[in-house]
Amino acid sequence: MSVTESPDSTKGTVEIDAPVNSLKLLVIIGVLLAVVGAIGGFHATWSGMVLRVESDASSPGKAGYDRSLPDMVFVPVDPLVVSLGNRAGARHLRFRAQLEVPSRHQEEVTQLLPRVVDVLNSYLRALEPSDLEDQSGLARLRAQMLRRVQVVVGQGRVADILVMEFVLN
């Protein structure tokens, strides 16, 4: 880059002979390469060419996940209305749930539903009102009910109990 004063022109005028055109060209090429690289990186990641997560159900130790749904069915439990006893002041609990069951055990669990209702009814009647009003009480109650249901129907036949309605009035 050189700075020269032109003798013909008015005083104070300075001309700069710089490779301005080549500098602009380099900036434009750099911006274009960055845009093309970003688009290519996005496409490679989005299409799975890079950072692909393989899912292999036959090897549970491998990283990844299986997008297929488990082979489960939901067996509804008859709704219960439970009197909470003398200390509760004639309060009632309305309870409705479903059992998450592997489909191969659906028929067995359905046949044992009267026993399931009996054990849930007995457990809920034995509760104190303070057990039901506790903030973390529902999680603890679910765990206790699931354990009791699994004892009645047998291990491995009920995966979870889903509380559909739990109303204290």
**Domain span holding position 81:** 72-168
Asked if 106 and 75 count as a contact pair (C-beta separation under 8 A), the reply is: yes
pLDDT digits (tens, 9 = 90+) for 23-62: 888 899 999 999 999 998 888 877 777 666 555 555 555 5
**Domain CATH number, residue 97:** 3.30.479.30
Type of residue at 134: D
Give the tens place of pLDDT for each residue, 18-30: 567 888 888 999 9
Per-residue pLDDT tens digits for 74-100: 999 999 998 876 665 667 889 999 999
Residues 93 and 128 in one domain: yes
pTM above 0.85, yes or no: no
* Chosen domain end from 67, 85, 108: 67
For residues 165 and 95, the answer to whether their CB atoms sit within 8 Å is: yes
Alpha-carbon distance of 166 to 169, in angstroms, equals 10
| Residues 16, 93 within the same domain | no
Kindly list the distances between the CA atom of residue 60 and the CA atoms of 68, 153, 161, in Å, as whole numbers in the listed order: 14, 28, 25
Q: Residue 132: how many CB atoms within 10 A of its CB?
A: 18
Nearest to 90 by CA among 138, 122, 141, 129: 129
Residue 55 is encoded by which pair of tokens?
A: 């899912």
* Number of domains within the chain: 2
- Strand 72-83 versus strand 92-102 pairing type: antiparallel
User: Do both 132 and 83 map to the same domain?
Assistant: yes
Residues 47 and 83 grouped into a single domain: no
Report angle CA 144, 100, 129 to the nearest 5 degrees. 30
